[in-house]
Amino acid sequence: MITVNLFLHHFDNTRLLPLFSLLVRRAPLLLATEPLRAGLALATTRLLPAMGANDVTRHDAAQSVRAGFRGSELSDLWSAAGGRPLEERRAGPFSHVFAGAASMPVKAVP
């Protein structure tokens, strides 16, 4: 099993598809938590100065939301890579979760 937290949104679809193609052959399950690309999440990043967040954190938070996911975007890429999506959904106001399985049993890598 591979777990990913706030990592996949750093790649565009042209990079995610080859990555997923490798992962689907190596792990029986992929679990991911990513930023939710939504208006509320983006608007909330403007409140970070009130928490004392520095310029880099404020910039990165907004960029991460813009690069985040919604709908079935990860499921579509996982399917295109030969995997079987299990679940993809919003998780609260700021997060997007994905679970995908390999379509066939995964062989152990020596």
Number of domains in the chain: 1
Do 37 and 62 meet the contact criterion of CB atoms below 8 Å apart?
Answer: no
CATH label of the domain that carries residue 61: 3.40.50.150
Please report whether residue 38 resides in a domain.
yes
Q: Tell me the pLDDT tens digit for each residue of 12-41.
A: 999 999 999 999 999 899 999 999 999 999
Please report whether residue 110 resides in a domain.
no
Please give the Cα distance from 70 to 6 (Å, whole number): 14
Q: Tell me the pLDDT tens digit for each residue of 61-102.
A: 999 999 999 999 999 999 999 999 999 999 999 999 999 999
